[in-house]
């Protein structure tokens, strides 16, 4: 049995955040595929595991009691504490990391994942609601690009879980309809993340949810 199980699927950037962290930390982990596109997260069994009906869900098999945790931000914080990697060194860094994880969950990932789902997976390009959400995603990419201009990493002088959270959907430029040439600081930052030892693409870490 692996030390960590991750309920996840390869099309899920939120799952990817946790999977990438596990991989970069050299964890003993295995993906447990969620057939999201067949409605698996809506089943009673899955809601028993996670009342929110979302992937990812991390299970840490520990002596005595297993930990079951959802929400990629909470999972990243837990894993960074557990492995002593990609975390903060000062209180200011801790708050800066949290600030960017909250921005990611509220603005960057939420709009990017939703416009990708509607426009790429559901073919709703041109639909006013989808275009509105796409505009909001682009606004969040602009914020990230401005922040990263003149700096290498989001929240510290090295990669942290803030970077791993924000990049969750950004290695699919065609699917999210982004031309990173328009956002050069984001493009350079994605290349820095790609160069981290152990980096792997979502499809290399997790099975498809189709
Ligand atoms: N804020 C959550 C978002 C998780 C999320 O929305 N996961 C998607 C897959 S990427 C999901 O399972 N959605 C199911 C649903 O919304 O019904 C996180 O960061 O883990």
Helix segments in the chain, DSSP class H: 13-24, 44-49, 72-83, 91-103, 109-115, 128-148, 161-166, 173-176, 184-194, 202-205
Question: Residue written as tokens 């297993």?
Answer: 66
Which pTM does this prediction carry? Answer: 0.99
210 within some domain: no
Nearest CA to ligand 1 atom 12: 54
List the Cα angle 32/37/39 in 5-degree steps: 85
Domain that holds residue 42: 4-86+198-205
Asked whether residue 46 falls in the same domain as residue 104, the answer is no
For position 146, which CATH number holds? 1.20.1050.10
Nearest CA to ligand 1 atom 4: 54
For position 21, which CATH number holds? 3.40.30.10
For ligand 1, say whether the CB of 53 is within 6 Å of any of its atoms.
yes
Phi, psi (5° rounding) for residue 93? -65, -40
Asked whether residue 108 falls in the same domain as residue 139, the answer is yes
Residue pLDDT, tens place only, 95-106: 999 999 999 999
Question: Residue written as tokens 């990419």?
Answer: 141
- Tokens of residue 191, six digits: 């290349």
Asked whether residue 68 falls in the same domain as residue 102, the answer is no
Instruction: Provide the number of structural domains found in the chain.
Output: 2
Ligand 1 center–CA 112 separation, angstroms: 12
pLDDT in tens, the chain (210 residues): 999 999 999 999 999 999 999 999 999 999 999 999 999 999 999 999 999 999 999 999 999 999 999 999 999 999 999 999 999 999 999 999 999 999 999 999 999 999 999 999 999 999 999 999 999 999 999 999 999 999 999 999 999 999 999 999 999 999 999 999 999 999 999 999 999 999 999 999 999 999
Asked whether residue 156 falls in the same domain as residue 100, the answer is yes
Q: Which atom of ligand 1 is nearest to the CA of 17?
A: 19
């Amino acid at each position: 049995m692996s030390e960590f199980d991750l309920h996840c699927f390869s099309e899920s950037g939120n799952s990817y955040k946790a999977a990438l962290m596990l991989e970069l930390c050299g964890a003993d982990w295995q993906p447990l595929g969620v057939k999201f596109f067949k409605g698996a997260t809506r089943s009673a069994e899955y809601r028993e595991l996670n009342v929110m009906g979302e992937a990812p869900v991390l299970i840490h098999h520990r002596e005595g009691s297993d930990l079951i945790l959802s929400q990629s931000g909470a999972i990243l914080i837990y894993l960074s504490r557990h492995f002593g990697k990609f975390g903060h060194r000062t209180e200011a860094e801790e708050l800066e990391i949290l600030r960017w994880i909250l921005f990611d969950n509220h603005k960057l990932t939420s709009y990017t994942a939703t416009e990708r789902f509607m426009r790429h997976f559901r073919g709703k390009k041109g639909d006013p609601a989808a275009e509105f959400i796409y505009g909001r995603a682009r606004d969040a990419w602009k914020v990230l690009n401005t922040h990263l201009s003149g700096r290498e990493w989001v929240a510290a002088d090295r990669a942290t879980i803030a970077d791993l959270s924000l990049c969750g959907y950004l290695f699919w430029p065609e699917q999210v309809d982004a031309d990173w040439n328009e956002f050069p600081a984001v493009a350079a930052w994605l290349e820095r993340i790609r160069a981290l030892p152990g980096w792997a693409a979502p499809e290399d870490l997790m099975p498809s949810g189709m």
